[in-house]
Amino acid sequence: MSIKKLTGLLLSLTSLGLMVACSQKPASDLSSKDKNLITVDNGDDAPTIDPTISQDTTSSRVLYDLFEGLTSFDQSQKTIPGLAEKWEVSPDGKTYTFHLRSGIKFSDSSPITAEDVVFSWQRLVDPKMASPYSILANNLVNANKIIAGKLPLDQLGVKALDAQTIQINLINPDSSFLQICAMPNVAIMSKANVTKFGQAWTNPKNIVTSGAYTLSEWIIQGHMLLTKNPNYYDAKSVAIEKVNILPIVDTNSSLNRYKTGEIDITHWSPVDQYKQLKLDYPTQFHTVTQEGLSYYDLNMTLAKFKNNPQLRQALSMAVDRQAIVKEVLGQGQIPAYSYATSTVENGKFAGLDYPWASWPRDKQIATAQELFKAAGYGPNNPLKLMINYNTNDGNKKLALAIGSMWQQVFGTGIQVTQANQEWKTFLKARNKADYDVGRDAWIADYNSVDSYTNLYQCGNLQNNAKSCNPEYDKLIAQAQASQDPEQRVKLIRQALQLVQNDYAIIPLYQYTYTRLVSPRVKGYDIDANHLDHVMSKWYKLD
């Protein structure tokens, strides 16, 4: 199939203006003109605001306001002190000793102590919690045995030396550990509060927080209202009293509400209006390269994928990534042909693209067709696939485009349908491997390739394709244990090349994110924020 044909098809899809409708309940009568109130679109409802079980960026946006870890970060994502004012690292890099700030308190005025820190880390590895982010603790002494139910929680390598001092012991040195300590999943919760209320502890009437804000209201499909935490250790620097967070799925609705001044910061922008928005809002509209990867999971629990590597490779090769980033999305995204971005850790893992990435498109298509036929599929035995994605106009457009690419390349040998799901439902289905082909994405939690390599390990809860390559796991373990930085990079590159040839996922593109920011919002250095970790305490309003 020629580029010209495919481009015409994709442009036809674009001209349809396929948008996802989503009825929104009125957020509230709060006015965005109030200098003590900022209104922010978060793209959807947060599935949870429990740090332990959070696994998505929608939840994280709220959690960064409500809770804080031992460390934090500035707008350039540089690690800075959080609830701990200082720390020491042992010469071998395996022991971290943190010292809490003097007199710090939770939002209910109770003291934040080392016991709360120990509780928060133990909860992450508690097998009863089954945290999808327990991976953050994999390098802590005894964590993996505790997660597997083989040791009690008190054997975790996190100890309270006294009320203000915490010691954390690692299995291997990890230059990213201070960044991990700033993650919302290891933010500090009140042991007394969580224990008292159980699963109801996150209700607005019950919640106790450690961050700059606390939760006053939460109306599902309506809004979240956060209010300044007067007991926050740096409350004097928090300029805005209230944060109104809206779950707007329909990007056109979000844009319209921005234009009327109801919203100060959008979350997404309509894909079809990107060029016009750049013209209409040259200083307000931002496009930022993001440290993140968009990809599709192939459900490796299904026989048609599990036992057929030729089919998996054929499907990956048939996707025209250049057309996706130029014609379908057109927001500066970078085509992806490997399992980690070329920018992570300042480019140490660039150059891992599939060899066929540089082939002419006609050769890619011909090879994909040969592999598809060898995999046993064709007009007499068509492959039936459903692409599942969470409701969003960009996700829908991408699913339609990729389905069309497969139809163009494999003809009557394939039948593709698409299905959208509400975010919470989609997450549950994907976690349970209840899909054929699933939309997936990973925004790096910190500037380390480990944020990607974890995704492909056997049994990892974020490995939504449910793939497993024991040799890959061995290489990653060797890399993590290595004391030689060059050897670590070499082993990880080798591991990624190995697992990429399994074709369990289809890498699509490296993200950019777009955001409209009202001129009345000051103090937000968005263009330096490549991880898109955001805290409302940075904002000020004119």
Per-residue confidence of the chain (542 residues) as pLDDT tens digits?
A: 433 333 333 333 333 333 233 333 334 445 457 889 999 999 999 999 999 999 899 999 999 999 999 999 999 889 999 999 999 999 999 999 999 999 999 999 999 999 999 999 999 999 999 999 998 999 999 999 999 999 999 999 999 999 999 999 999 999 899 999 999 999 999 999 999 999 999 999 999 999 999 999 999 999 999 999 999 999 999 999 999 999 999 999 999 999 999 999 999 889 889 999 999 999 999 999 999 999 999 999 999 999 999 999 999 999 999 999 999 999 999 999 999 999 999 899 999 999 999 999 999 999 999 999 999 999 999 999 999 999 888 899 999 999 999 999 999 999 999 999 998 899 999 999 999 999 999 989 888 999 899 999 999 888 999 999 999 999 999 998 888 899 999 999 999 999 999 999 999 999 999 999 999 999 999 998 989 999 999 999 99
As a whole number of angstroms, the distance between CA 533 and CA 329 comes to 23
Residues found in the chain = 542
**Helix ranges (DSSP H) in 301-391:** 303-306, 309-317, 321-323, 361-374
For residues 159, 175, 63, 523, the Cα torsion angle rounded to the nearest 10 degrees is: 130
> Helix or strand or coil: residue 85?
strand
Residue 236: other Cβ atoms inside 10 A: 7
Report the C-alpha gap between 404 and 337 in whole angstroms.
20
- Amino acid of residue 347: G
Query: 474 CB contacts (<8 Å, ≥6 apart)?
Result: none
Q: Partners of 428 in the beta sheet?
A: none
Q: Which residues are CB-neighbours of 381 under 8 A, at least 6 positions away? A: 413
What fold does the segment set 37-245+517-541 form as a domain?
D-Maltodextrin-Binding Protein; domain 2 (3.40.190)
Phi, psi of 393 (to 5 degrees): -65, -40
Q: 281-285: long-range contacts (C-beta < 8 A, 24 or more apart)?
A: 281/516, 283/519, 284/516, 284/517, 284/518, 284/519, 285/514, 285/515, 285/516
Handedness of CA 128, 129, 132, 134 (dihedral sign): negative
Q: Judge whether 437 and 329 are in contact, CB under 8 Å.
A: no
CATH architecture of 289-513: Roll (3.10)
pTM for the model: 0.80
Q: Write the burial class of residue 245 (CB in 10 Å: 0-12 exposed, 13-18 middle, 19+ buried).
A: buried
> Would you kindly state where each structural domain of the chain is located, as residue ranges?
37-245+517-541, 289-513
Tokens linked to 104: 């710090």
